[in-house]
A and B are shown apart, each in its own frame.
Chain A
Amino acid sequence: MATSGNKNMNAKLVLLGDVGAGKSSLVLRFVKGQFIEFQESTIGAAFFSQTVAVNDATVKFEIWDTAGQERYHSLAPMYYRGAAAAIIVYDITNQASFDRAKKWVQELQAQGNPNMVMALAGNKADLIDARKVAAEVIPLGTKLKYSSSNQDMSKIVVQDRKPEAQTYAEENGLFFMETSAKTALNVNDVFSEIAKRLPRLQPAQNPSGMVLMDRPAQTPATASCCS
């Protein structure tokens, strides 16, 4: 759960995704690529903590990796319990990993905390030639952004077209980025975007902040805070 001091908060972030999607590469790229004091985790693989600066505050992420193999799927609730944020990672060259990612999203929506900030990360974006999961539905992609609050409209799109990543994310109130742990594309951006979207657990002095961040799970990503 996110806990806050005045300007500094801790946030538990859980990484979900199929085995081989590159969860650990992604997080390692993130923790090692930061300029803010790189804090080596004491035990090593699978748990990391890293601080990012957002405006004039900092968010210290405690990053919990999870095992992606199907046989360990049922253990995941023990890990995402109490998490303030989740990154669901898939491999853009592997359609099955995208299908698995969608399962995670559904599960989190059904059982997780409604205030949890969720990000969908299409990893291995450097492997464009091997791409299997399209980032956007090309003909309607832009249009969809403007009409994303219209549920009926997006449903029609879904029925007509293969629901690809961007569309899927918008429909489900996630934000979406394609990342590459190899080239570092968007890696820091995913984390800082999450940091920005975390509900500030501050008391009532700042009620507007509360309203803006309320229930992101039901707000389409593109239309969320600033509209």
Chain B
Amino acid sequence: MLLLIGIFCSFIVSFLNNAPDSERDSAAVQEFLGNMETAFRAHSLWAGCSEEELESAGEGLEKYVMTKLFTRTFASLPEDVKVDEQLHEKIALIQQFVRPENLDIKPIFQNESSWLFAQKELQKINMYRAPRDKLVCILNCCKVINNLLTSVSAKENPPGADDFLPVLIYVTIKANPPQLHSNLLYIQRFRGQTRLVSEAAYFFTNILSAESFILNIDAQALSMDETEFETNMESARALLSGLSADNNVLGQSDQNAGPVPGADTSEAKLSFRSNRPPSAATQPNFSVASTETKPKNEDQYVKNQSSMEKIPSLSDLENRGASMLIKEDSINQVFQSFPYLYSQAGDLTVGDIEDLLNNYKRLVIKYVCLAKGSGIDNPSPSLPNNQVQTQHPDFEFNTESKAASAGEPIDEMQKDGPEDSSSVLSESLESDESKLKENEVVSSRVEEGS
């Protein structure tokens, strides 16, 4: 066993000493995982283990290695990062005007609200570091789509790829997960080749082809005429440049962060209390930047702030965000990265309190500073505690500390990823909501409902 650890360490060290090279890195990891798996399967320590145990040991090894190598292997090449940015920007525009019929989604499936669950699954992809976990997010998304297709279809007309792919493309456009391209490449390169087969391979091919379709979208691909397409793109650009153009870019450049969907969080921040009267002084729950706890996001925060200074007042800002949010088809997805947002008081545990309180204090300080900076004299950023807990839609805390803990390599080994594909895939749709919650709780390693 010691020998294996030695091999392991020397692999990591030699890997990290070389400059990034996607093909060589991928081949090295695949070879290493293959060899290690063969080695421990033959090792006396593992004698008598069931196939299942060996399989999960192999999975564990892959997860551990890739968590160690994540920073080095994920979105580490400038050309990949560039495609990420292009893709994200293009989707941000297209999602403003694409309609289900542009993609040949049959009328019976054109119920957009039902696709929100699928979008949520896909958006979780940046919460995980292991290739398997990221892949499971994609498979869960596909699973949700398939469930819905099957439940709506008539028996004599079963759904197939004619129905599935257009919906997957639509969902991908609406979800617009940051760094999609890098995520897909990462899975392709570092998911154990013996495990990316069969059904997983099929659905992974579907998301690859969805990406390819989106990257190549033009007027013809959406059955629009050129001028209509260009007009739509222009007005989408105008709409976005008003508020979140630089935030989009910022979200993109935030390579290794956890759940920080750039544009989405900023929109959430700006429009959070859209249904309240626009008096900034009584808005204690207004979060300035959900990313401020991480030192490496410091400059992003500064940029966010400077872009805000151009804007006259908090309430103007808020109104602007609110009107954007109303136009958005999928308000829920904007908020999905704030884990406490949908929590009930009973969901919280003693362990959450410190976290919540710290965040609250930061939030208050940020808010007061912001309000001062915008010329508001007496901001009153406090709410009675009970109100804070029960009025959860008014309540927002940053998710970054969770992301940070999820990113700890050692933790990653012990922490569960997203639901195991086999169990998730046989699960019914109804459990998706609770799964989401579960994952978040697990990722902060707090026991639920204690």
Contacts and interface: CB of A to CB of B under 8 A. Distances in A.
- Chain B residues touching A, range: 35 or more
Given A19-B104, A64-B202, A75-B212, A46 B160 contact: yes
Interface stretch (A65-73, A119-127, A137-145): A65-73
A116 to B, nearest CB: 17
A71 B165 contact: no
Contacts, number: 98
A72 B198 CA distance: 22
Interface string A21-41: 001110110000000000001
Given A24-B159, A75-B209, A42 B422 contact: yes
B199 A69 contact: no
A19 B160 CA distance: 10
Contacts of B213: 72, 75
A43 interface: yes
Contacts of B89: none
Contact of A45 (B160, B198, B223): B160
A62 B147 CA distance: 20
A44 B166 contact: no
Interface string A45-77: 111010000000000001011111101101100
Interface string A78-109: 11000000000000000000000000000000
Contact of B208 (A25, A42, A78): A78
Interface size class of A (residues with CB under 8 A): 20 to 34
B163 interface: yes
B240 interface: no
Given A24-B160, A67-B161, A78-B208, 20 more contacts: A15-B161, A19-B162, A23-B161, A25-B157, A42-B425, A43-B146, A43-B425, A45-B158, A45-B160, A45-B164, A46-B165, A47-B203, A62-B198, A66-B165, A71-B103, A71-B220, A72-B166, A74-B216, A78-B212, A79-B209
The 10 closest A-B pairs by CB, nearest first: A24-B160, A44-B146, A65-B161, A67-B165, A42-B425, A75-B209, A45-B159, A47-B202, A46-B161, A46-B164
Interface of B: 103-104, 139, 142-143, 146-147, 149-150, 156-166, 198-199, 202-203, 205-206, 208-209, 212-213, 216, 220-221, 223, 422, 425-426
18 contacts: A19-B104, A25-B158, A42-B422, A43-B142, A44-B143, A44-B147, A44-B149, A45-B161, A46-B146, A46-B164, A46-B202, A62-B199, A66-B165, A67-B162, A69-B104, A71-B104, A72-B213, A75-B165
